[in-house]
């Protein structure tokens, strides 16, 4: 067999495998839709929690061996389900609501574990149980380095959050106003349907062992909590938010809980970039995908 013939055979095999994966994914999607419709038939609308709080759990796994992506073929099927499920995507956690799994977290393993310097980026995504994309959270290296320089070496991370039901990007930032051994703060704002911003702050508890945070609105009212479990191998946060809160606010808190397992590594990464750039060992460069997030929306196209 010639090399050209072998290549055609390989291409045909790859196309067949992709077609099988897409066909299986479509069958699973139709099955899931049918089951969801069956469950929803005659189902009464959900009511707010009796005590006025909506609860969920962010549970981070310690191992990559999980039901979602075990095996090469399974990973191919997951990619067929969602274009957001990239080749280097690794599922690392889940969301539990009312005792049921309602979401999954995945991050780009190659971009975080294998890349170095300015190429090392944290990108993770929120999917539904059926791997439909819901949100993406990116560590903005350029913006974070700018803030870290302004804070004279104190690591200040900026994250961009893109959700499936919002036309605005949400930016979550660590505060540079921090003294040693004092709790850290993160802040962000959400633009409502009328175009008005709603500001929020996430404050870490002064004394805590599991990573406890309070969600505080612009009026100084506590509207949410993240209660970190002390004895947890991967990481586990019991969260609650005032009932009736903006859906995007709930999504931000879910992503923030998942980000906590990377928080220390992100701080150390920004410190290394800052020191490396000062020493001339690191040449500043911006990843193309991150650069797209800085593009001028009014530019001539």
The helix or strand, by DSSP H or E, that contains position 56, with its residue range, turns out to be strand 53-60
Query: What integer is the mean pLDDT of 5-15?
Result: 47
Please state whether beta strands 123-128 and 222-228 pair in parallel, antiparallel, or not at all (unpaired): unpaired
Mean pLDDT of the chain: 82
Task: Provide the pLDDT confidence category of residue 18 given band limits of 50, 70 and 90.
Answer: very low
Which of 76-80, 127-131, 251-255 shows the lowest per-residue confidence on average (mean pLDDT)?
76-80
If you average pLDDT over each of 48-62, 143-157, 282-296, which comes out highest? 143-157
| CA–CA separation, 105 and 165 (whole Å) | 18
Q: What's residue 25's pLDDT?
A: 46
Q: Is 134 helix (H, G, I), strand (E, B) or coil?
A: strand
Bigger pLDDT: 177 vs 230? 177
Non-local (6+) Cβ contacts of 72 within 8 A are none
Contact, 198 vs 190, CB < 8 A?
Answer: yes
Question: What is the per-residue pLDDT across 165-184, written as a single tens digit (0 to 9) for each?
Answer: 778 999 999 999 988 888 99
Contact, 101 vs 95, CB < 8 A?
Answer: yes
Place of tokens 């001339």: 280
Q: Which of 260, 288, 272, 262 is nearest to 58 (CA)?
A: 260
What are the residue ranges spanned by the domains of the chain?
51-293
Which of 19-28, 115-124, 210-219, 287-296 shows the lowest per-residue confidence on average (mean pLDDT)?
19-28
CB count in 10 Å sphere of residue 133? 18
| CA–CA separation, 140 and 77 (whole Å) | 30
Q: E strands, 149-295, where?
A: 158-163, 170-174, 185-191, 197-204, 213-217, 222-228, 235-242
Non-local (6+) Cβ contacts of 52 within 8 A are 242, 243
The helix or strand, by DSSP H or E, that contains position 74, with its residue range, turns out to be helix 72-81
Would you say the C-alpha torsion 32, 37, 42, 48 has a positive or negative sign?
Answer: positive
Query: What are residue 213's phi and psi, to 5 degrees?
Result: -135, 150
Bigger pLDDT: 276 vs 9? 276
CATH code of the domain made up of 51-293:
3.20.90
Q: Which of 187, 190, 191 is nearest to 201 (CA)?
A: 187
Give the CA dihedral 154, 150, 119, 68, nearest 10 degrees: 60
For the chain, what is the largest distance between any 2 Cα atoms, rounded to a whole number of angstroms?
74
Task: Provide the pLDDT confidence category of residue 17 given band limits of 50, 70 and 90.
Answer: very low
Question: What is the per-residue pLDDT across 97-137, written as a single tens digit (0 to 9) for each?
Answer: 999 999 999 999 999 999 999 999 999 999 998 888 999 99
The model's pTM = 0.79
Place of tokens 């040693």: 180
Query: What integer is the mean pLDDT of 46-64?
Result: 79
Q: What's residue 5's pLDDT?
A: 54
């Amino acid at each position: 067999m010639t090399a050209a013939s072998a290549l055609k055979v390989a291409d045909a095999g790859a196309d067949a495998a992709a077609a099988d994966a897409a066909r299986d994914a479509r069958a699973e999607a139709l099955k899931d839709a049918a089951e969801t419709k069956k469950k929803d038939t005659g189902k009464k609308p959900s009511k707010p929690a009796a005590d006025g709080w909506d609860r969920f759990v962010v549970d981070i796994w310690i191992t990559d061996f999980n039901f979602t992506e075990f095996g090469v073929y399974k990973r191919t099927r997951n990619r067929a389900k969602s274009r957001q499920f990239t080749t280097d995507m690794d599922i690392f956690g889940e969301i539990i609501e009312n005792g049921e799994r309602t979401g999954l977290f995945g991050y780009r393993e190659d971009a975080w574990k294998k890349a170095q310097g300015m190429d090392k980026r944290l990108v993770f995504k929120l999917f539904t149980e059926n791997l439909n994309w819901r949100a993406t959270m990116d560590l903005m290296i350029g913006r974070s380095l700018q803030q870290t320089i302004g804070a004279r070496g104190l690591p200040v991370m900026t994250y961009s959050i893109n959700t499936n039901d919002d036309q605005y990007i949400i930016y979550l930032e660590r505060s540079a106003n921090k003294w040693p051994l004092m709790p850290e703060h993160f802040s962000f704002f959400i633009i409502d349907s009328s175009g008005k911003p709603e500001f929020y702050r996430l404050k870490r508890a002064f004394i805590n062992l599991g990573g406890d945070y309070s969600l505080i609105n612009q009026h100084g009212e506590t509207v949410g909590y993240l209660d970190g479990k002390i004895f947890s191998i991967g990481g586990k946060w019991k969260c609650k938010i005032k009932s009736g809160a903006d859906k995007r606010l709930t999504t931000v808190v879910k992503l923030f809980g998942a980000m906590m397992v990377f928080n220390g590594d992100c701080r150390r990464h920004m410190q290394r970039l800052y020191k490396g750039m000062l020493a001339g060992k690191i040449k500043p460069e911006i990843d193309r995908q991150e650069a797209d997030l800085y593009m001028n929306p009014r530019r001539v196209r």
